[in-house]
Amino acid sequence: MFFQQSNVPDIEKYFRNTFIKLKEFGDELFFVNHVGSCAVLGKDQSGEDFELILSDAMPYEVDYVLPSRSVFQSGNRVSMLQRIPARQYKRGLCSDNTQLVDVYTGEKLPVDMDTLVGFVNKPRYTTFDEIIRKKVGKSVALNSRFSYHTADGSIRCDLKPIGLVETSTKTIKVNKLFEPEIKQLLDLCKETIKVVYHE
């Protein structure tokens, strides 16, 4: 959508109180908190004010594709961001069209700058080597769909438990449906880890 003066009502409807990205700034998020007749105002990730001047002579294109689902590391927890599958009119990311949950507790998390920064910054994923050597926190993301929880040794795909890691025997017990994904994660390992598949 083009941000320009003749589109102010649409910008207000679709983007006010949402998070957007601006193409010149890569993955940095911007929160739109005001749409005026001449400018869009808000805050960037560092809390600084930003202003995007609106001009029909020089329209600015905002085309932020909302993510569908992703697991990511957020401090000492693993969070999952997912679209809310209802018909929504907001085109920026907000709590009307997106939800964040703690993968292990199911607790809903606020959709705000603090919780979203972990998603856009894409921190590195943990390997099974680190899990076997017990060099992990309480919950760690393995990739964009899988995570591991230290307290019960479970591996989850999104929110669903699909396997267990036994660090003492260096064994992973996992549902056979997830064999390709687990093999792909194991290809990153130097440790010899036994995998037991079950239905």
Predicted confidence (pLDDT) per residue in 18-53, tens digit: 999 998 998 899 999 999 999 999 999 999 999 999
183 torsion bin: left (phi>0), alpha (psi -120 to 50), beta (else): alpha
Q: Where are the domains of the chain?
A: 2-61, 69-121, 128-198
Q: Tokens 């920026």 appear where? A: 92
Bigger pLDDT: 32 vs 89: 32
pLDDT at position 190: 84
DSSP-derived letter for residue 13 is H
* 120: amino acid identity, one letter: V
pLDDT at position 87: 66
* 111: amino acid identity, one letter: V
Residue 122 has pLDDT above 80, yes or no: no
- The set of residues, in sequence order, having a beta carbon less than 8 Å from that of 189 and lying 6+ positions away, is 127, 128, 129
Q: What is the pLDDT of residues 126-172, one digit of tens each?
A: 999 999 888 888 899 999 999 999 999 999 999 999 999 999 999 99
- pTM across the whole model: 0.85
